[in-house]
Structure 1
Amino acid sequence: MRLAEAKQVKEMPYRVLFLEDDPTIREVLTEYMLVTGYQVITAERGDRALEFLKEQTFDLAVLDICVPGVNGFEVLKSIHESGKRTAVIMLTALEDEQTQVKAFNLYADDYVIKPVSPIILLKRMETILRRTTQNAADERGQEKGLILQEEAYCAFYGGEKLPLTLTEYLLLHRLWQEPNRVFTREQLILSIFNEDYIGNDRIIDAHVKNLRKKLPASCIKTIIGVGYQFDREAGGL
């Protein structure tokens, strides 16, 4: 697509940190971001990106993983540990499942595999920023209740992100989707692991126990002899 098409995206005064060591990709995508109205700071090394993060505030970071110095995962981890409200898109050529799961476990908001259309990347950025802006507004107006960001695989309670593993998130998400339904352990296993899991269905009990420790409210009810159910009232729905 032509660069002119990017101008159709609404101009927004968002600040973006773009970590990318490939000069061609960095130049092309930065130009698209600038034309669209973003304020962009670029870095080709992870340690330089960390310096920018200490000095400035960003609404969004677009991070390559394999860069000189500190890698993109370390930058992602630093953003999360800082407590800053910076959304993160991992933009990388690494497409294996293990790497993607690691990114989401470190609280990435999205994972985009290169090569990518600049227009598609811009739409991903727009979607995430729209969602995070709305979440910030929701948190200011409502300081209670459970909120799940389905595209980012993460959950918030009272405006605070919960430190869930991917399996814990998937379990919570399945129960949250149908709060009036009681799920058996077998149904939850199939929902989370499909047919890949081999073992005792009591593994679900262990995940529920860990999940309850991380949830500020008792959102998950045990239905004796059957399984588990999401409590709408406790979850603030």
Structure 2
Amino acid sequence: MIRILFLEDEPTIQDVTAEYMKMKNYDVTCVKDAKEALYKIKNDKYDLAVLDINVPKGSGLDVLEYIKSSNSSTATIMLTALGDEETQIRAFNMNADDYVVKPFSPILLLKRIEAVLRRTINQNSEVLKKDGLFIKDDSYEVYYNNVSLKLTLSEFLLLQTLMKEPQRAFTREQLILRIFDDEYCGNDRIIDAHVKNIRKKLPKNYIKTVNGIGYQFNKEA
């Protein structure tokens, strides 16, 4: 599941906007001041930070500066009631991914979030597939329409192998080597069991059986 840190000190805006985010199946952590936001960023991992600039105990720009200076992959969207060009330019000069001026529509913010996540997913994930299916190599997760499919590590590695080389049909033995290296001594039919479990978790049949060989990523799904 996509994780979002939401820094906003106005309770009504925070509550309403967070509910909209949760309706899109985002995992939202809400904080009310810059100090708490910095603590969360330093001690946990987020895909996106939505940061109000004018908050207590610092500024959203302080949080943005930390995210960028720490080489974090967390994307950023800045919120502020200040519509002046100088503040916007300052945020963009600090490499903010987007900027939304208050008052804003929660639905518009959701669209901005989707756009930013699409860009950052393309940059940070080695494999991206059509129809909302993509993998994140760094966190060993598979998502469909921003919802984690909860694959096991072996299932993830199997699907990752097939997605990386969609033109290739893999034998069971080849897949075992990709998943277990030389450590597995059991029956190669374990691959069939993993494929069966993956198919149950995927919204479409993205794994094709190749008779007499093994399995291949199904580009027609």
TM range (shorter): 0.5 to 0.7
Match of 1:26 in 2: 14
Aligned to 1:63: 51
Deviation at 1:89, TM superposition (A): 0.2
Aligned equivalents of 1:91, 1:98: Cα separation in 2: 14
Match of 1:107 among 84, 91, 95: 95
3-state SS of 1:111 partner: strand
CA deviations on 1:156-183 (whole Å, 9 max, x unpaired) are: xxxxxxxxxxxxxxxxxxxxxxxxxxxx
- When the two structures are superposed, what TM-score results if normalisation uses the length of structure 1? 0.53
Q: Does 1:136 align with 2:124?
A: yes
Look up the SS of the partner of 2:95 in the other structure.
Answer: coil
Max Rg structure: 2
- SS of the counterpart of 2:104? coil
Residue correspondence of structure 1 range 69-218 to structure 2 within 5 A: 69-137=57-125
Distance (whole Å) between structure 2 residues aligned to residue 54 and residue 101 of structure 1: 26
Q: What is the rounded CA distance, in whole Å, between the counterparts of 2:20 and 2:66 in structure 1?
A: 27
* 2:28 matches 1:43: no
Number of residues paired by the alignment? Answer: 128
Alpha-carbon deviation of 1:137? 3.3
List structure 1 segments (4+ residues) > 6 angstroms apart after TM superposition: none
Deviation at 1:69, TM superposition (A): 0.1
Q: SS state of the match for residue 6, structure 2?
A: strand
1:24 to partner: Cα distance: 0.3
* Distance (whole Å) between structure 1 residues aligned to residue 110 and residue 72 of structure 2: 22
CA displacement, residues 138-194 of structure 1 (integer Å, 9 cap, x when unaligned): 6x89xxxxxxxxxxxxxxxxxxxxxxxxxxxxxxxxxxxxxxxxxxxxxxxxxxxxx
Q: Distance in 1 between matches of 2:33 and 2:105?
A: 23
SS at match of 2:125: helix
Instruction: Give the fraction of aligned pairs with identical amino acids, expressed as a percent.
Output: 52
TM-score, normalised by the number of residues in structure 2: 0.56
Gaps in structure 1 of 5+ consecutive residues: 1-12, 142-237
Unaligned runs of 5+ in 2: 129-221
CA RMSD of aligned residues (A): 1.4
What is the CA distance between 1:91 and its match in structure 2?
1.1
- Where 1:61 maps in the other structure, the secondary structure is strand
Aligned partners of 1:49 and 1:137: how far apart in 2?
A: 25
